[in-house]
Chains A and B, each alone.
Chain A
Amino acid sequence: GENVEQHPSTLSVQEGDSAVIKCTYSDSASNYFPWYKQELGKGPQLIIDIRSNVGEKKDQRIAVTLNKTAKHFSLHITETQPEDSAVYFCAAGQNFVFGPGTRLSVLP
């Protein structure tokens, strides 16, 4: 089955800086890669996703890149704001196997 790793587990950045979170997956058949943001006491919120037929997707300050050959995909957040502070999860595979999560703290 699918195995998803995620790094780093925690990330602190200054407001306005960029943040990058990387995930690797094991199943070369996986073709859909979402990213979720989870705030305290809430369910995960889908923030961006990418399919295997594209290498990059951008939505305002958020972008995701995919390298199918290397089997990794990354979340990029630019111009970070305090409200970006949350736990971020990647997922892959038909049954949405989740990575262990990254706790992002944006320091004002």
Chain B
Amino acid sequence: SAVISQKPSRDICQRGTSLTIQCQVDSQVTMMFWYRQQPGQSLTLIATANQGSEATYESGFVIDKFPISRPNLTFSTLTVSNMSPEDSSIYLCSVVWGGGNTEAFFGQGTRLTVV
């Protein structure tokens, strides 16, 4: 199966700063998603990253706080802006290959701690 790489794997950031997380896939995919997983909790969808257009955000998430880019079919970034301790979470990239497939596969995640 294809490889999904997320960078960084973890980071500790100062409040008020921003962090950009990268998701790279080694083959073209139809759909890319970004999830947040707060400590000990389930996964919550932040947005669908759309290639060449603005991401589609879920209720409770806004572009100013979580700007997303997807310049091509293999790469996406999520930025967590103006961070506060409440943003401490694991952020996960997920992809669907398409072509009739609906299975979603996840990267290893980025563990973010805001101090």
Query: Interface of A with B (CB < 8 Å)?
Result: 32, 34, 36, 41-46, 49, 89, 95-101
> Within the complex, which residue of A32, A43, A97, A98 is in contact with B108, where a contact is CB–CB below 8 Å?
A43
* CB within 8 Å of A: which B78-109 residues: 92, 94, 102-109
* Chain B residue at smallest Cβ distance from A6: B42
In Å, the complex CA distance between A96 and B58 comes to 12
Q: List 17 A-B contacts (CB under 8 A).
A: A32-B102, A36-B106, A42-B108, A43-B4, A43-B107, A43-B108, A45-B106, A89-B42, A89-B43, A95-B58, A96-B45, A96-B94, A96-B104, A97-B45, A98-B42, A100-B42, A101-B41
In Å, the complex CA distance between A34 and B106 comes to 13
Q: A95-B45, A98-B43, A100-B42 are in contact. Are A44 and B102 (CB under 8 A)?
A: no
Residue pair A43, B109 in contact (C-beta under 8 Å): yes
Q: Give me the 5 closest cross-chain CB pairs, A-B, nearest first.
A: A43-B106, A98-B43, A43-B108, A98-B42, A44-B106
Query: Interface of B with A (CB < 8 Å)?
Result: 4, 33, 41-45, 48, 58, 92, 94, 102-109, 111
* Chain B residue at smallest Cβ distance from A44: B106
Chain A residues with CB below 8 A from B44, complex form: 98
Residue pair B45, A42 in contact (C-beta under 8 Å): no
* Chain A residue at smallest Cβ distance from B92: A43
Instruction: Report which residue of A32, A34, A46, A96 has the largest number of chain B beta carbons within 10 angstroms of its beta carbon.
Output: A96
In Å, the complex CA distance between A56 and B4 comes to 29
What is the minimal beta-carbon distance from A90 to any residue of chain B, in angstroms?
Answer: 10
Q: A44-B43, A95-B58, A99-B42 are in contact. Are A49 and B108 (CB under 8 A)?
A: no
Residue pair A96, B33 in contact (C-beta under 8 Å): yes
Chain A residues with CB below 8 A from B92, complex form: 43-44
Chain A residues with CB below 8 A from B104, complex form: 34, 46, 96
In Å, the complex CA distance between A96 and B104 comes to 9
* Chain B residue at smallest Cβ distance from A97: B45
